[in-house]
Amino acid sequence: MLNRRTLLGALSAVAMLAASNGAAFAQDTYDIALISKGFQHQFWQAVKAGADKAAAEFGANVTFEGPESETQVDRQMDMLAAALSRNPDAIGFAALDSQAAIPLLQQAKDAGIPIIAFDSGVDSDIPLTTATTDNVAAAALAADKMAELIGGEGKVAVVAHDQTSRTGIDRVDGFVNRIKEAYPNIEVVSVQYGGGDQLASTEITKSILLANPDLKGIFGANEGSAIGVANGKTELGSQIVVIGFDSGAAQKGMITSGVMAGAITQNPVGIGYETVKAAIGALKGETLPPIIDTGFYYYDASNMADPEIAAVLYD
């Protein structure tokens, strides 16, 4: 029989082994906080789905939150500060303002918390990588499609979501600069911002149409903007060409009905998935590329059912 000292030693060894295994397990279960630009659009729900998929695959604990509106920069800063205070292993961040978050992100860096930017980056080298669409190229494709559909001449306008996020800046620049460089007979007569809000974008669209009765088309630079543009067109009985950005059930329905000619779709599930994957890679010491290009496509009623396109549409 084991004497008391031997028994206690054996129990102690078992306890130490259990504690060691528990610590190893805890270390492998990474805590990753994702702060998005919003939560009201189906786009962000699809990003979350991708993040959740990666979390399940890699055994991570992932939280996902964003402000009620994409105009609430201060609210997003509060969420980022709250996430930082709980000291997660990594943070994924989609900036509403490409500069406002830099002090908080610097705090995270100083604390040894890796930052992964997603969808919309920041004007800083603090993020180790950015999982995003090439928004300049995507908006340039929207400009090419617009030019094709209006016959290469006439007046067009842009309704975008904001002037502060990287996506807002790059999509406006990508569209406007492509028109200027490639289509001398097309004039961009107005660029206005509705905060990604459908109702605000509808009213902006109606004011643009009333001020420019000979307008031929409007590019709506995100989900809320595009839906607002299409609604404004419908309310005034206009025949302009509408090119949107993102997908979702409402836009897909508008394209099917012909109110919207087509749109650029991103790969939001891929954005969420690659953000979490990159965060785990950073925590394991892997070297990440500066940009993770998650791709984009143009879709309309003719190709929405194609397997390659259908896979990146969301509703």
Percent of the chain exceeding pLDDT 70 equals 91
Query: At 263, which helix (H) or strand (E)?
Result: strand 262-265
- Does residue 67 fall inside a structural domain? yes
Would you state the pLDDT for residue 156?
98
Cβ atoms of 114 and 92 within 8 Å: the answer is no
Would you state the pLDDT for residue 14?
40
Assess whether 160 and 192 both reside in one domain: yes
**Looking at the 3D structure of the chain, how many domains does it have?**
2
- Does residue 99 fall inside a structural domain? yes
Strands 154-160, 297-299: pairing kind: unpaired
Mean pLDDT on 25-50: 85
- Does residue 311 fall inside a structural domain? no
Does pLDDT of 187 surpass 60?
Answer: yes
Does pLDDT of 13 surpass 50?
Answer: no
Assess whether 189 and 251 both reside in one domain: yes
Mean pLDDT on 159-174: 96
Assess whether 158 and 192 both reside in one domain: yes
Assess whether 193 and 255 both reside in one domain: yes
- Does residue 76 fall inside a structural domain? yes
Mean pLDDT on 209-217: 98
Of the candidates 265, 282, 309, which is a domain's last residue?
Answer: 265
Assess whether 62 and 112 both reside in one domain: yes
Assess whether 259 and 274 both reside in one domain: no
Assess whether 151 and 225 both reside in one domain: yes
> Taking the model in full, what pTM does it have?
0.83
Assess whether 114 and 180 both reside in one domain: no
- Does residue 12 fall inside a structural domain? no
Assess whether 252 and 178 both reside in one domain: yes
Give DSSP secondary structure letters for 183-250.
-TTEEEEEEEE-TT-HHHHHHHHHHHHHH-TTEEEEEE-SHHHHHHHHHHHHHHT---EEEEES--HH
Domain span holding position 176: 135-265
Q: Which CATH number do you get for residue 150?
A: 3.40.50.2300
Helix, strand or coil for residue 105? helix
With cut-offs at 50, 70 and 90, classify the pLDDT of residue 147: very high
Of the candidates 243, 265, 287, which is a domain's last residue?
Answer: 265
Q: What gap in Å lies between CA 281 and CA 94, rounded to an integer?
A: 19
- Does residue 186 fall inside a structural domain? yes
Mean pLDDT on 11-31: 50
- Does residue 13 fall inside a structural domain? no
Assess whether 92 and 48 both reside in one domain: yes
Assess whether 42 and 127 both reside in one domain: yes
Of 7-11, 48-52, 96-100, the least confident: 7-11
Assess whether 162 and 213 both reside in one domain: yes
Question: Which residue blocks in the chain are alpha helix, DSSP H?
Answer: 4-28, 42-58, 73-85, 102-110, 135-149, 166-182, 198-211, 223-236, 249-257, 268-283, 307-310
Does pLDDT of 222 surpass 70?
Answer: yes
- Does residue 304 fall inside a structural domain? no
